[in-house]
């Protein structure tokens, strides 16, 4: 039970409480089961206190410090917690019904037992928070700080993460179909096996992010930065990567069938056995890319640059390479049957063992 002497001090208001706590430096703050409803506790220091089963209904806790506190079974119905510090708190069976949680700090907090749907968190700080397996589909986390948060297996379909910070976040096998990640920061995020069909990841910063085995069919990644990212085995059928930066990206065995890669930059990318059949690659850059056994059949490669790229055993059946830059390109044992090479720039190109049967406009100099 709560210490009644301590309860009297807290009921005298935040200013008196904070002064008393600073002066007395009590080792234990036990307020469990206390009725603190309707009080004005703006800026109150309740850090590391035992607030189990406390009634905070209608209480004003704006900018209050509740970090490290035990809030198990506490009642915050209609409470104002705007800007409060809830980092590292225990939230088992807490009732936040109709509470104002805008801009709260939930750093490092286990949120798995908390019903977050319908709660307005504003630009809350959820860095390092544990959100494994939670259902946040259709919610808004615009500009929210989720750096290092664990969202593995979470249901995030149709969730809005526009401008959010998801750097180092764990989104392993998360469901992000039709999620909005426009302009989000995903540096070093783990999206291995995640489902991102029709997701909007345009203009996102995805440096060194792990999308291996992820499903990104029809996703929009226009103008995104995927430098150094891992997309091995990823499914990107019909995806849009217009003007996307993919330098040093690993795309081995990725499926980009019918993807729009116009003006994208794949310089130094590793694309072993990737599938780009029927992809649009107009003015796309593949300089120095490793593209052994890649499938570019029926692809539109007009004005694409394959300078110094390695295309050994690649398949270009029916591809349009009109005005493509093939300077120093290695086509050893590649299949270019019925490819269109009209006005392609050929210089120091390696054709050893290449199949050029039916190729149009080919003139080796």
| pLDDT band at residue 190 using 50, 70 and 90 as cut-offs | very high
Per-residue pLDDT at 365 exceeds 60: no
Residue 2 banded pLDDT, cuts 50, 70, 90: low
Question: Which tokens is 69 given?
Answer: 């506190």
Residue 120: the pLDDT is: 75
Residue 363: how many other CB atoms lie within 10 Å? 10
Q: Which residue has the higher pLDDT, 115 or 63?
A: 63
Instruction: State the chain's mean pLDDT as an integer.
Output: 95
47: Cβ contacts below 8 Å, ≥ 6 apart:
65, 66, 67, 68, 69, 85
Quick: pLDDT tens for 14-44.
999 999 999 988 888 999 999 999 999 999 9
Considering the chain, what percentage of its residues have pLDDT values greater than 90? 88
Q: Categorize the per-residue pLDDT at 122 as very low, low, confident or very high, splitting at 50, 70 and 90.
A: confident
pLDDT for residue 178 is more than 80? yes
**Average pLDDT for 335-350:** 96
- pLDDT at position 1, please? 62
Give me the mean pLDDT over the 8-16 stretch. 92
Give pLDDT, residue 3. Answer: 74
Cβ atoms < 10 Å from Cβ of 92: 14
At 313-333, the pLDDT tens digits run 999 999 999 999 999 999 999
Determine the pLDDT at residue 302.
98
The answer, yes or no, to whether residue 116 has pLDDT greater than 90, is no
pLDDT of residue 124: 86
**Which of the 8 DSSP states describes residue 327?**
E
Structure-token pair, residue 2: 């709560």
Residue-wise pLDDT for 297-312, tens only, equals: 999 999 999 999 999 9
Rounded to an integer, what distance in angstroms lies between the CA atom of residue 260 and that of residue 278?
Answer: 9
The answer on pLDDT for 277 being more than 60 is: yes
- Taking only the tens place, the pLDDT of each residue in 83-95 is 999 999 999 889 9
pLDDT band at residue 113 using 50, 70 and 90 as cut-offs:
confident
Task: Give 30-63 as a 3 state SS string.
Answer: ECCCCECCCCECCCCECCCCECCCCECCCCECCC
Mean pLDDT of 154-170: 97
What's the pLDDT score for residue 249?
A: 98
Residue 224: count of CB within 10 angstroms of its CB: 29
User: pTM here?
Assistant: 0.91
pLDDT given for residue 46 in this prediction = 97
Residues ≥6 apart with Cβ < 8 Å to 19: none
Return d(Cα 355, Cα 338) in angstroms, integer: 10
Q: How far apart are CA 184 and CA 173, in angstroms?
A: 19
């Amino acid at each position: 039970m709560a210490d009644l002497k301590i309860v009297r001090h807290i009921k005298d208001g935040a200013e008196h409480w904070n002064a008393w706590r600073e002066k007395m430096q009590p080792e234990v703050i036990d307020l469990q089961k206390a009725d603190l409803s309707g009080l004005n506790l703006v800026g109150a220091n309740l850090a590391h206190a035992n607030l189990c089963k406390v009634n905070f209904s209608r209480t004003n806790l704006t900018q209050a410090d509740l970090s490290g506190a035990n809030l198990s079974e506490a009642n915050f119905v209609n409470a104002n917690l705007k800007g409060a510090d809830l980092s590292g708190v225990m939230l088992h069976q807490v009732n936040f019904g109709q509470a104002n949680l805008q801009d709260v700090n939930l750093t490092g907090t286990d949120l798995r037992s908390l019903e977050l749907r319908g709660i307005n968190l504003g630009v809350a700080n959820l860095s390092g928070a544990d959100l494994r397996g939670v259902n946040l589909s259709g919610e808004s986390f615009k500009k929210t700080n989720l750096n290092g948060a664990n969202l593995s297996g979470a249901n995030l379909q149709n969730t809005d993460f526009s401008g959010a910070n998801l750097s180092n976040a764990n989104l392993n096998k998360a469901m992000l179909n039709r999620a909005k990640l426009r302009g989000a920061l995903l540096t070093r995020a783990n999206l291995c096996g995640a489902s991102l069909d029709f997701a909007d990841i345009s203009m996102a910063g995805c440096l060194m992010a792990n999308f291996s085995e992820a499903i990104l069919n029809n996703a929009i990644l226009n103008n995104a930065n995927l430098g150094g990212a891992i997309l091995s085995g990823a499914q990107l059928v019909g995806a849009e990567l217009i003007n996307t930066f993919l330098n040093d990206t690993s795309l081995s065995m990725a499926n980009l069938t019918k993807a729009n890669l116009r003006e994208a930059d794949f310089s130094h990318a590793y694309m072993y056995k990737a599938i780009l059949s029927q992809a649009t690659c107009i003015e796309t850059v593949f300089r120095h890319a490793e593209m052994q056994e890649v499938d570019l059949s029926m692809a539109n490669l007009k004005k694409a640059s394959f300078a110094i790229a390695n295309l050994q055993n690649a398949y270009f059946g029916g591809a349009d390479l009109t005005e493509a830059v093939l300077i120093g390109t290695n086509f050893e044992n590649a299949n270019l049957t019925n490819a269109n090479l009209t006005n392609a720039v050929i210089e120091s190109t390696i054709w050893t063992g290449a199949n050029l049967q039916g190729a149009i406009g080919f003139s080796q100099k």
